[in-house]
């Protein structure tokens, strides 16, 4: 008997449904509490999937009905949240302190036997998982390379330079929504057999994209069918609702950007909330073959010194990663805290600050860091020049070849412009060294815009 018919039978629906599904049920924890009589039905084994999203208090009634419990989940993905539960999904709602709660996965991790599943085989291109593997999983995942170079694989970036975030009105980015809709149409025309998912950072941006898809689909019935809600090859969802979904190709729309007067607020919806970095991890790992990040912002537009939020830092790093096509894994780590290896470095720093430049100290993520870095005035998150002084970092290299040649070659391949200052030259003729340094900075500032 069909399940729908069982449920429509007001007198026998639930009992017959229970009987029809024996010996295995697939139900939510709350449904178990509502429909399963604990005095009548008892489970031999109870399995919770996507357990990172389940609150402990919601699953306890199901647990007491079982002899054995298996909890499956990823504590680097979405936690339980109250986000989107009020019905007001505008920016005001996103600015509220919507808390993330402890999950049953968090609770069970403290005392239950654990087994980590390390093989990752969803991604057909390693670049799709490399960022998450590095930043979320401590490079513990085992991934598999693709033997072919294919433009339909990997990480791609689509910049929308004229995108504007409508902060005081619709709270969306209509220009970016138009670009996403056009990319969707191009995908349908060129790769009709590949499934597609669209993820927006906010409900408002998802609605804007839906509007543009409907406009494009008015005279294209097949495209309209492809983009329909019941299409197995397509979905359009906000960030909070995509855990568990996967498609061949993913379009990820940031939406947030500078407003009509050119001001950029570091508000990226759920990304900036408690454990918001988990939401980013979910979004960037939904693609099996290709992901295209659509953004009106560049990584250089985001100055991470304005915020200590982990979600913002990782978003900036992923923007940089996507801009490089998945080639640049590490973002530059720096803070407002001043750190110097020597009084010589400190003197160079203060001299440049007096000339009006913004300088970051000890830039890098590993044991080796660039002593001083000059910030690009046009893109506060980007550096014009790296300055190496012959201080502790220089002398820490085991060989002269490493410190004088190889290290700089590697930095230049990554895109750095490097300027070396010798302490003896600085103290013997400081004005001449300052003049050379300022001329190089100005030349780069005028060249890089």
Q: What is the pLDDT of residues 212-248, one digit of tens each?
A: 999 999 989 999 999 998 889 999 999 988 988 999 9
d(CA 25, CA 347): 70
Q: What is the pLDDT of residues 422-442, one digit of tens each?
A: 999 999 999 999 999 999 999
Mean pLDDT of 356-374: 81
What pLDDT, on a 0 to 100 scale, did the predictor assign at position 82?
A: 57
What pLDDT, on a 0 to 100 scale, did the predictor assign at position 2?
A: 39
Burial class (CB in 10 A: 0-12, 13-18, 19+), 52: buried
What pLDDT, on a 0 to 100 scale, did the predictor assign at position 90?
A: 44
Q: What is the pLDDT of residues 196-208, one digit of tens each?
A: 999 999 999 999 9
Alpha helices in 162-287 (DSSP H): 174-190, 203-217, 221-226, 276-283
d(CA 313, CA 331): 9
Residue 190 has pLDDT above 60, yes or no: yes
- Its pTM stands at 0.72
Mean pLDDT of 250-273: 92
Residue 335 has pLDDT above 80, yes or no: no
Cβ density class 230-267: b for 16+ within 10 Å, e for less? eeeebbbbbbbbbbeeebbbbbbbbbbbbeeeeebebe
Domains and CATH numbers, the chain: 3-109 (no CATH), 127-323 (3.40.50.300), 343-447 (3.40.960.10)
What pLDDT, on a 0 to 100 scale, did the predictor assign at position 408?
A: 79
Q: What is the pLDDT of residues 145-182, one digit of tens each?
A: 665 557 788 999 999 999 999 988 999 999 999 999 99
* pLDDT band at residue 89 using 50, 70 and 90 as cut-offs: very low
Residue 1 has pLDDT above 50, yes or no: no
What pLDDT, on a 0 to 100 scale, did the predictor assign at position 94?
A: 44
């Amino acid at each position: 008997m069909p399940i729908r018919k069982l449920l429509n039978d007001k007198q026998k629906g639930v009992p017959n449904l229970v009987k029809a599904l024996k010996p295995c049920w697939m139900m939510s924890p709350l449904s178990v509490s509502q429909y399963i009589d604990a005095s009548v039905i008892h489970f031999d084994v109870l399995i919770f999937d996507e357990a990172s999203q389940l609150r402990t208090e919601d699953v306890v009634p199901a647990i007491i009905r079982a002899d054995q419990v298996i909890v499956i989940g990823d504590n680097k993905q979405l936690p339980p949240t109250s986000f989107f539960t009020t019905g007001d999904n505008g920016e005001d709602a996103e600015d509220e302190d919507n808390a993330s709660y402890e999950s049953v996965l968090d609770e069970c991790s403290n005392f239950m036997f654990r087994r980590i599943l390390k093989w990752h085989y969803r991604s057909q291109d390693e670049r799709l998982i490399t960022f998450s593997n590095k930043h979320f999983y401590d490079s513990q995942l085992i991934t598999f390379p693709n033997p072919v170079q294919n433009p339909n694989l990997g990480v791609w970036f689509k910049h929308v330079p004229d995108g504007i975030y409508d902060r005081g009105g619709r709270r969306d980015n209509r220009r970016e929504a138009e670009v996403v809709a056009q990319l969707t149409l191009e995908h349908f025309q060129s790769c009709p057999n590949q499934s597609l998912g669209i993820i927006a950072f906010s409900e408002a941006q998802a609605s804007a994209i839906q509007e543009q898809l409907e406009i494009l689909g008015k005279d294209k019935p097949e495209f309209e069918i492809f983009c329909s809600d019941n299409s197995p090859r397509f979905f359009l969802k906000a960030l909070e609702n995509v855990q568990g979904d996967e498609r061949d190709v993913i379009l990820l729309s940031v939406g947030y950007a500078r407003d009509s007067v050119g001001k950029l607020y570091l508000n990226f919806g759920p990304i900036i909330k408690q454990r918001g970095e988990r939401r980013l991890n979910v979004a960037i790992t939904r693609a099996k073959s290709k992901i295209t990040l659509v953004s009106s912002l560049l990584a250089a537009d985001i100055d991470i010194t304005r915020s200590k939020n982990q979600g913002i830092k990782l978003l900036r790093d992923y923007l940089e990663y996507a801009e490089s096509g998945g080639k640049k894994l590490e973002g530059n780590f720096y803070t407002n805290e001043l750190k110097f290896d020597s009084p010589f470095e400190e003197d160079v720093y203060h001299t440049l600050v007096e000339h009006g430049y913004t300088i970051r100290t000890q830039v890098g993520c590993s044991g080796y860091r660039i002593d001083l870095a000059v910030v690009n005035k046009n893109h506060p998150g980007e550096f014009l020049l790296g300055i190496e002084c012959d201080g502790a970092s220089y002398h820490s290299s085991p060989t002269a070849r490493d410190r004088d040649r190889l290290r700089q070659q590697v930095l230049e391949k990554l895109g750095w412009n490097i300027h070396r200052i010798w302490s003896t030259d600085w103290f013997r003729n400081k004005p001449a060294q300052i003049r050379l340094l300022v001329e190089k900075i100005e030349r780069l500032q005028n060249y890089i815009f």
